[in-house]
Structure 1
Amino acid sequence: MTRAVMIQGAGSNVGKSMLVAGLCRHFARQGLRVRPFKPQNMSNNAAVTADGGEIGRAQALQALACGVEPQVDMNPVLLKPETEIGAQVVVQGHRLATVRARDYAKLKPQLLKACLTSFRRLSDGCDLVIVEGAGSPAEINLRAGDIANMGFAAAADLPVILAGDIDRGGVIAQLVGTHAVLDPDDASRIEGFLVNKFRGDATLFADGMREIAARTGWTGLGIVPWFEEAWRLPAEDVMDIRSRPRDGAFRIAVPRLNRIANFDDLDPLSADPALSVEIVPPGRPLPVADLILVPGSKSTIADLAAFRANGWDIDLMAHRRRGGHVLGICGGYQMLGRSLSDPGGIEGPAATVPGLGLLDVDTVLAPKKHLARVAARDVASGAAVAGYEIHMGQTTGPDAGRGWLEVDGARAGAASADGHVLGCYLHGLFTGDAFRAAFLTRLGAAASEGQYGAGVEDVLDRLADHLAAALDLGGIERIARVIR
């Protein structure tokens, strides 16, 4: 008998993903077989499943919280923005199409069916499914055809708990206002509410909780204090990336590309106390650093043009002349080459553009996306490297003959003749403690003794404890309804 409950938010970025991860870990520690589910996610930070599909990074973290492998059914619809008005649509792990926002609604009946199929399939053999909404149900202009919030809740007959964010202010208006604008049938699905990100003495908001309950009829489930260690968990949204400056540490500068993708490469570096990681927003020059890391991109040619428009190409060349190190990952790797060709118009009009010229390689984009988990070896140290590839295109050239990684007995990646400029398609490579320490030591950083994976597990445990101390978890479990 499987039960399910849906966590929706009174706005975007209220902490739904973190709440679901903490609840997953709590109930898994109680001996329940728990699974996370998000019908529709929008993110360019994806994870690759064991069978070669892709899902949102948050659902991969939530799966880790449950102690299970990520599955494509945990996030059946993933939208990956490519432009301001269009996104790639990934359904049950694989690319379906690239559509403009105005045309997306036409796909929703088909996508709802896929969401329900994945939900039923995921529910088999487990005790509890914790479903995460997207954005807010208060966006009633999007209710027709909705598959992310109340549309899915109604189709799957789920009870809902609504989360508000007090840190941004106006939480009473967030929650009571949501109740006021919702259709009565949708409002009746909400059986409880909670307030997230409280700083200070939570007892001071007791009157606020009573007012919300009186005006909505919903049950108050608790006030969650600000969780200081949230930044140690993998970030899903680019806006959640934070610089981690540390005096005297090895300095890494990361240009924040407009369509930055799969930036989980930065999480282990940001968590390492031996490193100072600075995320450089558009409009600011790249600072003096020991390493400039050019991250992945969902729209490589457009981000390369923006890279130049920001003057970062000039900063990068100055860094190179000073003897600094450069690493490009996936789209960043493609940018570092001599040229980047898109003969099929995958990212826009067919074009060939000059790259940054720091690696003697050329890239040709191709329509077929390469998705795979990869076990590799660092040639210099012999350390094991585990990661994943998620890219469209092939890179070849003389510097690719100096591959600094080894995959299935063949060299992978590329290196300049002096070894100061490196590129590869492998994401997630820094999660391995031995490789990360060996790689950074070669570049002159102090050897790190950090254990990144164990650190994430510890934070998930502390997050579960944090929620258990703040919320009526028994009440949440009682709200969960048996799936029909």
Structure 2
Amino acid sequence: MGLRELTMNTKFLMIQGTGSQVGKSFIVAGLCRLLKKSGVNVVPFKSQNMALNSYATEEGHEMGRAQAMQAMAAGVKPSSTMNPILLKPASGGQFQVVVLGQSIGNMDPKLYSEKKDSMMRVVRSSLDKLKNEFDLIIIEGAGSPAEINLAEQDIVNMAIARETGSPVVIVADIDRGGAFASICGTLDLLALGDRGRVKGFIINKFRGDTDLLKPGLDFLENKTGLPVFGVVPRIDVVIGDEDALCLEQRKQIIKADVRLAVPRLPHISNTTDFQPFDLLDNVALDFIQGPGQIQKADAIIIPGTKSTIADLTWLRETGLAQEIVELAMSGVPVIGICGGLQILGTRVVDRSAVDGGGERSVEGLGLLPVRTELGESKVVKQVKSVIVEGEKILGTQSIGCRISGYEIHVGVTTCHGPAQIFTRAEDGRPNGWISEELSVAGCYMHGIFDDNAVRTSFLQHLSNKETDQNIVFAQLDLSAEIDKVSDVLEASLNIKGLLEVAGSDWQGRHEEVVR
């Protein structure tokens, strides 16, 4: 498998979609890995990403988790230039604006729209840097390019295609139905000049015999005059979702060896902390929204949040706060990650009103003797930590495990009562605590369950509480998961055709994919 030498000029290929969650990030990741294996100097790019799942780079910059994963697929170090603008939904109808990895504060849509020109300058500068380093830039759009109410403020879809002269391929999700109508409707709503940039389509998430789809594909090609580059089957992989919307599409497991409960907070963030569990057919991961749904849990994990105080209020209003406290008192293990750690403490103080709603001081769940002072400064960094204590929650085999992850949070948390250090960062500071009395712990480390040893010890400890059986839990290999996507795309898509529209030539194991 190999690629003929690219010309000296950087080439572009843009992957847009008929809507959100159609699989744009999935397609870009698979293409990046496939081309990287072929020796192409390729990089992903998304000018603006609206997502709650973010990643901390080595430089301490924040970027979209999906673009970080795509960079890894391409074999390059994740950089905020690959996702120069990140919008993170916050409370009160606002979102936090992260530019080149640094937060510049919260804005409402109107205020942000007034900054379009300055944001576009940031996008152009990032593209210029990437053009100097890479031969092929695969650009991901956002949502749909046919959102006519957003066209004036567009800096992520057709505006970027025009800026770069990039050909566009539109992805549609056939699993949710209406794929052909959504493709035709998208084309019809595009301006004539932008319509000419579209070079073809990818049908994604297909189940069944593709021969049965052929009449529909023929109709689409005849109607639009554009090719379908292939039909990608639906596959189960764990490569990192952009936001909490993906929780709607999770598989449900009724009979499981271990059942974990996660409160689905209104401002939940970094749900990728839980994706390693989605790989396992014998682990149920239940995202709960009300009382009575949590009683059968073997453990409770309180996730990160973009608004700690607002989500604390929600927990109390729904009755979940009382249930979590009662279950913790009865011996059910409870773990909080990032904002979840803050929620477990005795008090959260917001003197700078960074959480929205003005200056406030609210009680936490009181399950850990820690207190958090929110502030305007934000911690964003990759971290290596060691599990110091936690046998009663994570199991014996977790003690001493050295884990790699990242911290992204506002606020300083201090311990003021009887507790032990749960996790300690390599710089010597504690970044997690565990109760001396209860099976309750919290830490600032995102990615703690990405570690195979820690995750396996945790699950085996929970399963062994009821039985002496040594239950086997699958291991996670992100690179292998990306390879699965790459292999499926190579078998499903006309890669030669895709690269030809980008101005490149392809010689692969399959000269042309036959539908």
- Describe the superposition over 1:4-47 as per-residue Cα deviations: whole angstroms up to 9, x where unpaired: 10000011111111111111111111111111111111111101
- Describe the superposition over 1:420-463 as per-residue Cα deviations: whole angstroms up to 9, x where unpaired: 110111111111222333444555655756432x2x22221121
Q: How does 1:146-225 map to 2 (within 5 A)?
A: 146-225=154-233
Partner SS for 1:89 = strand
2:409 is the alignment partner of 1:391: yes
Partner of 2:299: 291
Indicate conservation of the 8 Å contact 1:197/1:226, yes or no.
yes
Q: How far is the alpha carbon of 1:182 from its aligned partner?
A: 0.8
Partner of 1:377: 386
Indicate conservation of the 8 Å contact 1:109/1:145, yes or no.
no
Aligned in 2, Cα 1:469/1:82: closer, same or farther, shift over 3 Å?
Answer: same
Q: Normalization by structure 2: what TM-score?
A: 0.89
Q: How far is the alpha carbon of 1:265 from its aligned partner?
A: 1.3
Task: Pick one of 96, 105, 108 that aligns with 2:113.
Answer: 105
Indicate conservation of the 8 Å contact 1:34/1:128, yes or no.
yes
- CA distance in 2 between partners of 1:171 and 1:412 (Å): 47
- Note the residue ranges of structure 2 that are not aligned, 5 or more in a row: 1-7, 390-398, 465-469, 505-515
- Note the residue ranges of structure 1 that are not aligned, 5 or more in a row: none
Task: Pick one of 130, 139, 143 that aligns with 1:135.
Answer: 143
Query: In the alignment, residue 466 of structure 1 is paired with which amino acid?
Result: V
Percent identity, aligned pairs only, is 40
- CA distance in 1 between partners of 2:310 and 2:260 (Å): 24
Partner SS for 1:369 = strand
Aligned in 2, Cα 1:397/1:354: closer, same or farther, shift over 3 Å?
Answer: same
Q: How far is the alpha carbon of 1:283 from its aligned partner?
A: 6.7
2:273 is the alignment partner of 1:255: no
Indicate conservation of the 8 Å contact 1:401/1:411, yes or no.
no
- CA distance in 1 between partners of 2:101 and 2:404 (Å): 20
- CA distance in 2 between partners of 1:128 and 1:290 (Å): 47
- CA distance in 2 between partners of 1:45 and 1:336 (Å): 21
Q: Normalization by structure 1: what TM-score?
A: 0.94
Partner of 1:367: 376
Indicate conservation of the 8 Å contact 1:14/1:165, yes or no.
yes
Query: In the alignment, residue 483 of structure 2 is paired with which amino acid?
Result: D
Q: How far is the alpha carbon of 1:317 from its aligned partner?
A: 2.0
Partner SS for 1:469 = helix
2:482 is the alignment partner of 1:473: no
Indicate conservation of the 8 Å contact 2:243/2:270, yes or no.
no
Partner of 2:449: 430
2:243 is the alignment partner of 1:237: yes
- CA distance in 1 between partners of 2:417 and 2:137 (Å): 48
Query: In the alignment, residue 464 of structure 1 is paired with which amino acid?
Result: S
- CA distance in 2 between partners of 1:243 and 1:365 (Å): 36
Q: How far is the alpha carbon of 1:216 from its aligned partner?
A: 2.3
Query: In the alignment, residue 235 of structure 1 is paired with which amino acid?
Result: D
- CA distance in 2 between partners of 1:388 and 1:110 (Å): 29
- Describe the superposition over 1:293-314 as per-residue Cα deviations: whole angstroms up to 9, x where unpaired: 0000001111111111111012
Q: How far is the alpha carbon of 1:210 from its aligned partner?
A: 2.4
Partner SS for 1:367 = strand
2:419 is the alignment partner of 1:412: no
**Higher mean displacement: 365-374 or 277-286:** 277-286
Indicate conservation of the 8 Å contact 1:158/1:189, yes or no.
yes
Indicate conservation of the 8 Å contact 1:437/1:447, yes or no.
no
Partner SS for 2:105 = strand
- CA distance in 2 between partners of 1:160 and 1:399 (Å): 58
